[in-house]
Amino acid sequence: MDAIVRSRRFRVKATDSTRPIMNSHQLFRHSRIRLALWYAGVMGVILSLSGFGIYRSIAQANWAAMEREVESIAGTLHDSLEPMLPASETPTAALRQILPELCLVGQPCNANPTLIQRHTIGISDRSTYYIRLFNHRGRLLAFSPNPPTELPQTLNPTPWQTFQTASGTRYRQFTIILHGNHNPSEPHGSWGYLQLGRNLEVFDTEILQMRWILLVGFPIALGLVAVSSWWLSGLAMQPIYQSYQQQQQFTANAAHELRSPLASLLATVEAILRVPQSDPQEMQTMLHTVERQGRRLSHLIADLLFLTSLEHHSSLKPSQRCCLNDLISDLTEEFLELATLAKLDLIHQVPDRDVYVLGNESQLYRLVSNLIANSIQYTASNGKIIISLIARDRTAFITVKDTGIGIAPKDQDRIFDRFYRVDRDRSRKTGGTGLGLAIAQAIAHHHQATLKVESQVGQGSIFIVEIPLAH
- Where along the chain do its domains lie? 46-209, 318-468
Residues composing the chain: 471
Q: How far is it, in rounded angstroms, from Cα 271 to Cα 6?
A: 12
Give the residue ranges of the chain where pLDDT is below 50: 1-21, 115-122, 124, 184-187, 425-431
**∠67-72-77 over CA atoms, to 5°?**
125
* pLDDT the model gives residue 105: 78
CA dihedral sign of residues 63, 69, 70, 72 = positive
Backbone angles phi, psi at 468, to 5 degrees: -65, 145
* pLDDT the model gives residue 249: 66
Least Cα distance to 342 among 402, 400, 291 occurs for 402
* pLDDT the model gives residue 462: 92
**How far, CA to CA in Å, does 392 sit from each of 26, 202, 371, 406, 469?**
51, 75, 21, 27, 9
Kindly report the CATH class assigned to 318-468: alpha beta
Choosing among 3.40.50, 3.30.450, 2.40.128, 3.30.1120, the CATH entry for 46-209 is 3.30.450
CA dihedral sign of residues 304, 453, 374, 251 = positive
Q: How far is it, in rounded angstroms, from Cα 457 to Cα 403?
A: 10
DSSP E strand stretches across 40-109: 103-104
* pLDDT the model gives residue 129: 86
172, 128 contact by CB (below 8 A): no
* pLDDT the model gives residue 429: 46
399, β-bridge pairs? 388, 464
* pLDDT the model gives residue 89: 52
Q: How far is it, in rounded angstroms, from Cα 151 to Cα 202?
A: 19
CB-based burial label for 16 (10 Å; 0-12, 13-18, 19+):
exposed
Is the pTM here over 0.75, yes or no? no
Q: How far is it, in rounded angstroms, from Cα 357 to Cα 391?
A: 10
End-to-end CA distance of the chain: 61
Q: Which residues contact 197 (CB under 8 A, 6 or more apart)?
A: 70, 129, 130, 131, 132, 148, 151, 171, 172, 173, 174
DSSP-based three-state secondary structure for 140: strand
CA dihedral sign of residues 69, 71, 75, 81 = positive
* pLDDT the model gives residue 262: 75
* pLDDT the model gives residue 10: 39
Backbone angles phi, psi at 424, to 5 degrees: -70, -40
* pLDDT the model gives residue 401: 92
SS3 content of the chain, % helix, strand, coil (to 5): 55, 15, 30
422, 401 contact by CB (below 8 A): no
* pLDDT the model gives residue 388: 93
* pLDDT the model gives residue 425: 44
* pLDDT the model gives residue 245: 72
Residue 465 region, left (φ>0) first, then alpha (ψ -120 to 50), else beta? beta
* pLDDT the model gives residue 250: 66
DSSP E strand stretches across 290-361: 320-323, 345-349, 356-359
Q: How far is it, in rounded angstroms, from Cα 423 to Cα 425?
A: 6
Residue 143, CB-side half-sphere exposure with 13 Å CA sphere = 17
Q: How far is it, in rounded angstroms, from Cα 242 to Cα 275?
A: 49
Q: What is the DSSP letter of 470?
A: P
